[in-house]
Structure 1
């Protein structure tokens, strides 16, 4: 068969792969650019994404001014979708609702009436139930749209036009922040304070080469809508603003409330940005339930208009700073807000910018807006002056003008020829009302002409001088600062700064009140903690078909070591055990112990102890107890077992010799030095077997003899042990007379 057969889709197979690859690449690149430019990344000049820009412009077209009436949100989102943004109305409404949420947006651009969601994370009501209008801040962003301040482009179907960018009277990108995920890139910018941003802009106007350090002095950090305390160091903040990437640690604001008689509670009044209050409370309740922070007693939500979360300590002796430090570490009472200032710097090119570059882009945009508005005003003045000159000529020759209009069939060309009028002037005279022919009107016209000429001179000077332009921009920024700065309602800084108190790692035992308990675990693995040290032979109740397995005295500050037959150690804090009122809870809900794996032993962790571990195959080693502590629910594999082999022995090392007994009732004794100390593994052979395996092993002091309980329950001690002394890994000799039939040593 020929190797150069044509591909069934047309053309040789070798020729289709490259064009297909190129076609897919081109289409994906087009999609990526569309996502970056028209959906996910904001414009550095006005800080808006296309959907937000279209929402505000559509509301402006509906004349929903900040002092006017409200309109149904459904009407607004419908107009946006039909005229400018051909996407889902729910997506448009969600974007509009977010612009109205004062807990998400530092300077809301939409004034919402109705349920627009809350800090608990509840969704806004349906668009048919809510109403909206513009705010003063959004009007400031659009000031000058009617004065050719920015370019317009056709909408998606070419029937209308929309602004490419807003004139933007303040740096909205930094003032309200932004977030979005594009293709291969993302942006995340926190909100800031307008007062500080305009101060930085004015400094940048005066000193174009200003250092980043100076700008950070003027804008020390974000200003989140919900307040909170920023605990990031100045060095990190400076580096983040200099590079455009970094993070800010934000903590909840809290205070101690005295309840009298030595009692107190903590009240949280501000929570971190974009943290849902309901989720936060659930997390705190979970920490209480699993006793991860034992010194926290209870959490209550007493919020009304303001946030008020009440945290009750377990006792009045708890250190409040320690408690809050643990909560900051284990909950969203402290978050890390990432900064990624990836924006469209000129409306087209995505770039990660520093704060200085973003402010520079805004100022350059403001200069272009000023020049365009000034030129537009100059053109309007020229047109008006032309008309006024025609009016004045008409007044000076009023009788002749009236005569021409009365007698001529085509008065316009006659007047233009006789008085040297332009087409615009002649048309304006012909459209003049009769009431304007009074004497006083001529004086008004001359006064207006003189004023317009003076204004024209000022505009020409402005357009010719860059210094005058920046002076005018600075003047406009000061007016904006007066409107939205710290003197206005809600304009004062909300987020404050503080040094982070370093909370050292506190052992769990240090946070738990030390109380005696009796740990009870059944054969089926139901565990509980009885208060106090009860007699170990006390009759206890268990579930039907179950019975007691482990009963021992402990304290709430203890940690329990649990070894499964799979050779894996699990660790439990005694303070987290369920109370002893009921039957307890399954141990397998607290650690990831497989259902088919039996518990070999359960004991209290004692630092510095050494444990003898051995498998049913007769292999074992000594391990420090510190090495078997598990940090996770999954436990820690210490003794390696494979196939039918299981963990058989776990005893505390006491003495200088090891005794092992096999299922064949043969006993071997050897010095403990012959066993290696390891952190994990299979170990070495303790005893050799022809059939069967290891039954038990223990350690003891040779001089004091080997002890066990005889069938009658009496303690017997064998001191003459030379017969069983041998090298490790020997077969051993038959057990002494009276050795227990279950082949077990006493613990």
Structure 2
């Protein structure tokens, strides 16, 4: 064995000398192709991935039909893993469970008995505790599989054969949807209503030139197992189905319950697809705790057999539509479900298809299945007619046949020679029972022969006429549609197509925020929180080890805060949306997109009409209205170009600037331009280092500074420091702040 490894391939060994880049490329490409074709993407014809197809085929081999006894899921998983799918048993069981969950699959293909999980997100029981069998829908997918309807291929070890694709009596790809992530591509297809899909197929059979617009008249949109309301615009829906890429906004279904005396509450009866109810309730409760939903007072889960989430308003004066619109924005009561119809076509190649292409591919598959089943039936008829021809010879020469069978040592060979029979006919004669040798049986054989010849003629005509084939396909689809009749609970459309309420654009949530005092604390390491009330003793505020206070602002929950970052961007924070005072808060970077190396140089309450002097480390700056610093996006708003150092409030008519070398310069505020964005003008000149602090003050009141204890100190003879803007200034007076700033107080 060791010699075999050390020898080269030319010498019969197993060592291959090739560049590592080529070796990795080949192997990764093989892995990628395997993932795409054998794991992640469904087949456009039956809408199944290999593991789902193998589960259903294994259940058929176990005769687990819809009216059969349930069998342990562990037995099914074992057969699938042993015969067809040599992967982990848990992955196979997960696939089986998903096919049985009526809140995940629009038309469950497996009928499960036991705990198969629930919409709360609870896990199913282990496979040894659950039982399963196929549903009628699964039987429809497998119908005709024993009639040479599809190709088979050897299983992984060659001991068995498995179907390449299922016959699929209905378009399961769109009916149950699919999702998966492969290497470099993904797929996501929401479920639809089977009756509508079949109507679309019938439309295409009648008119091959039907457009997407024509199809949307009978297939208006997805139909989710959990119901809900699709509020996407018709134009967006059309674009999604035309291109195969897009998405759908889905909202929960709700109604108002009148409690009398002007009191009411909202009851949610359906939630968007794939949303776990327990996590949704947690999220709703969190919005109340974090004061992000000022209109919501309480949430309760009163679900039993049917879903019932109760939402209590904070005040009876709130409009129900306004409350729900606010929650749609904040929680998973509204979600966006994407559409990416990336599938494997009939040749096994992945590509994105539109609605018409998918239905066309399914119809072509059904026609191919029809042709193959017809050809298979013709073979069976031909074989049976051959046998019947032999049996008729028995009745025409009954005495001679009996004599040969009784007296000859090799009756089979004698029969073949005497009556010019073939081997199959002779074998059929020898297997005929004596009680069947009656006149009545002869008449029955002749009737069967005539019926088979009539059927043979019809089937041959079917194979020769394309129109007849499409009529036959249409008839089969109409028959399948009865299984999914819209009048039944299974076939009835569950998802409504509507529009978002016009009130959504007019909601002013701040108008419903309760005004309460809070103390906002931003730590040196970027953790932010809002403590209840105005904290008098700031030393009582606790921080993580190694952290401390950077900015502390006392404000109201109705206030907006402006955070000015060192990269010159301004960010807007709503005080009522900040995390509460429990713990140490949360990183401010979860709320705004501030850079990792940037820090907050100023944090203050926004005031209508107020202005700020923004200044950079290089000594440039200008006056900007606070209204121009408000940002509507998490990415903030660029205000100052350069490394920002300060955003001093404009209270007065004089500007005091001090550099890192403790040189101070004072000049009139009128020397600074008012801008909304830019670099600004030169405030103070430096040979090295840069600006330390800026302050605006009233000349009649004089210049002051605060020490670390909060005591206000006067700057004597501040007029001696007046000069032209952009000058170097003079050294600050003795006793001035050791930090070189106008305030050592955190704020």
Query: For 1:228-274, what per-residue CA distance to the aligned partner results, in whole angstroms no more than 9, with x for missing partners?
Result: 11112222222222222221221211222222221222222111111
* Aligned twin of 1:149: 149
C-alpha distance in structure 2 between counterparts of 1:467 and 1:545, whole Å: 82
Q: Where do 1:511-660 residues align within 5 Å?
A: 511-513=512-514, 515=515, 517=517, 528-530=531-533, 543=540, 555-561=556-562, 572-576=573-577, 603-612=604-613, 621-629=622-630, 652-658=649-655
* Aligned twin of 1:4: none
* Aligned twin of 1:258: 258
* Aligned twin of 1:91: 91
Structure 2: gaps (5+ residues): 1-6, 11-15, 707-711, 734-739
Residue 207, structure 1, aligned to residue 245, structure 2? no
User: Contact 1:239/1:246 (CA < 8 Å) preserved in 2?
Assistant: yes
C-alpha distance in structure 1 between counterparts of 2:19 and 2:582, whole Å: 69
User: Contact 1:529/1:577 (CA < 8 Å) preserved in 2?
Assistant: no
User: Contact 1:695/1:743 (CA < 8 Å) preserved in 2?
Assistant: yes
Structure 1 residue 494, shift from structure 2 partner = 0.9
User: Contact 1:705/1:717 (CA < 8 Å) preserved in 2?
Assistant: no
Q: Where do 1:158-307 residues align within 5 Å?
A: 158-307=158-307
Q: Where do 1:328-477 residues align within 5 Å?
A: 328-477=328-477
Query: For 1:422-448, what per-residue CA distance to the aligned partner results, in whole angstroms no more than 9, with x for missing partners?
Result: 332222122111111233222222222
- Where 1:387 maps in the other structure, the secondary structure is helix
C-alpha distance in structure 2 between counterparts of 1:697 and 1:264, whole Å: 53
- Where 1:254 maps in the other structure, the secondary structure is strand
Structure 1 residue 744, shift from structure 2 partner = 7.6
Structure 1 residue 227, shift from structure 2 partner = 1.0
Greater shift after overlay, 626-635 or 389-398?
626-635
Q: Which has the larger radius of gyration?
A: 1
C-alpha distance in structure 1 between counterparts of 2:483 and 2:279, whole Å: 36
C-alpha distance in structure 2 between counterparts of 1:114 and 1:610, whole Å: 67
User: Contact 2:703/2:718 (CA < 8 Å) preserved in 1?
Assistant: no
- Where 2:133 maps in the other structure, the secondary structure is strand
User: Contact 1:520/1:548 (CA < 8 Å) preserved in 2?
Assistant: no
C-alpha distance in structure 1 between counterparts of 2:325 and 2:648, whole Å: 39
* Aligned twin of 1:738: none
* Aligned twin of 2:697: 699
Structure 1 residue 295, shift from structure 2 partner = 1.7
User: Contact 2:521/2:549 (CA < 8 Å) preserved in 1?
Assistant: yes
Residue 685, structure 1, aligned to residue 686, structure 2? no
Does the C-alpha gap of structure 1 residues 542 and 390 become closer, same or farther in structure 2, counting only changes over 3 Å?
Answer: same
C-alpha distance in structure 2 between counterparts of 1:289 and 1:26, whole Å: 54
Does the C-alpha gap of structure 1 residues 313 and 9 become closer, same or farther in structure 2, counting only changes over 3 Å?
Answer: farther
Residue 56, structure 1, aligned to residue 64, structure 2? no
C-alpha distance in structure 1 between counterparts of 2:117 and 2:198, whole Å: 31
* Aligned twin of 1:3: none
Calculate the TM-score normalised by the size of structure 2.
0.82
* Aligned twin of 1:80: 80
Does the C-alpha gap of structure 1 residues 107 and 570 become closer, same or farther in structure 2, counting only changes over 3 Å?
Answer: closer
Structure 1 residue 189, shift from structure 2 partner = 1.2
Query: For 1:558-604, what per-residue CA distance to the aligned partner results, in whole angstroms no more than 9, with x for missing partners?
Result: 2245779999977554435789xxx987678668999x999998653
Calculate the TM-score normalised by the size of structure 1.
0.82
- Where 1:327 maps in the other structure, the secondary structure is helix
Structure 1 residue 671, shift from structure 2 partner = 2.5
- Where 1:191 maps in the other structure, the secondary structure is coil
Greater shift after overlay, 549-558 or 623-632?
549-558
C-alpha distance in structure 2 between counterparts of 1:457 and 1:691, whole Å: 100
Structure 1: gaps (5+ residues): 1-7, 736-741
Query: For 1:269-301, what per-residue CA distance to the aligned partner results, in whole angstroms no more than 9, with x for missing partners?
Result: 111111222222222222222222322222222
Residue 675, structure 1, aligned to residue 676, structure 2? no
